[in-house]
């Protein structure tokens, strides 16, 4: 197992950094915001709490919650325009600094492509570097399910994305940053996991992560060390 010092060295010399999105890059949980917007916030929040307990698979939890929300294409677009996701303080500066250093930045999320792409645009991250779940709609805009073939629709999906990135781009060192257990489980194949508790603290992650931060400034400082 790598020591904290070794993890910091991996981060400083990484050629790719993957960020979780909900409660990490943005302050809120996209699916809970969508549920509130569609009038089923409390019921979906309760489902989310149960899902976090790890008794159901990610895909089963996602299917159940979306079945309750049933968001239309119009509702998703209106959510983005009326209640755009709020960036976590410091993330814009951190991503900009990584880009300056020639590091590839990816957003790897169990959230929804349309919302995550909106976030990517604000951070100058190409949409090709977004891995998230895709909602499906009928021709009249009504909810038609989600694309179950996306790796992020499954438990362990974030690790699959990192494996794919390593194969495709021959990255030597890939860092995963996130607030949840699914982010921590992505290392390995990721080379370094950084737990983030700036928006919400998940005790399981805080206790098990060798490197745990509560503000992105801590990572900016690490990059200045070199």
Q: Is the CB of residue 69 less than 8 Å from the CB of residue 100?
A: no
Give the integer Cα–Cα distance in Å for 32 and 23: 11
Q: Which two tokens mark 180? A: 């949840």
22 is annotated as an active-site residue: yes
What is the four-CA torsion angle of 134, 116, 41, 158, rounded to 10 degrees? 70
Give the sign of the dihedral formed by CA 54, CA 58, CA 64, CA 65: positive
Q: How many CA atoms lie within 13 A of 224 on its CB side?
A: 8
179 is annotated as an active-site residue: no
E runs forming strands in the chain: 16-19, 104-112, 130-133, 135-137, 143-146, 174-178, 192-196, 212-213
Select which of 22, 32, 179, 191 is catalytic. 22
Select which of 20, 32, 179, 183 is catalytic. 20
Q: Which residues are catalytic?
A: 20, 22
């Amino acid at each position: 197992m790598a020591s904290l010092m070794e993890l910091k060295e991996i981060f400083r010399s990484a050629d790719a950094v993957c960020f979780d999105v909900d409660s990490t890059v943005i302050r809120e949980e996209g699916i809970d915001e969508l549920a509130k917007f569609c009038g089923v916030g409390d019921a979906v929040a309760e489902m989310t709490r149960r899902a976090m307990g790890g008794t159901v698979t990610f895909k089963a939890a996602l299917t159940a919650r979306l079945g309750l929300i049933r968001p239309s294409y119009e509702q998703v677009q209106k959510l983005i325009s009326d209640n755009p996701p709020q960036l976590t303080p410091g993330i814009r500066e951190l991503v900009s600094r990584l880009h300056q250093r020639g590091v590839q930045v990816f957003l790897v999320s169990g959230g929804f492509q349309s919302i995550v792409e909106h976030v990517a645009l604000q951070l100058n991250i190409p949409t090709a570097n977004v891995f998230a779940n895709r909602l499906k709609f009928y021709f009249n805009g009504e909810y038609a399910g989600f694309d179950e073939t996306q790796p992020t629709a499954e438990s362990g999906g974030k690790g699959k994305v990192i494996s794919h990135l390593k194969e495709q781009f021959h990255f030597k060192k890939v860092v995963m940053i996130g607030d949840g257990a699914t982010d921590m489980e992505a290392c390995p194949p990721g080379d370094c996991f950084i737990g983030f508790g700036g928006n919400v603290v998940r005790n399981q992650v805080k206790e098990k992560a060798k490197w745990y931060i509560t503000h992105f400034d801590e990572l900016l400082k690490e990059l200045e060390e070199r």
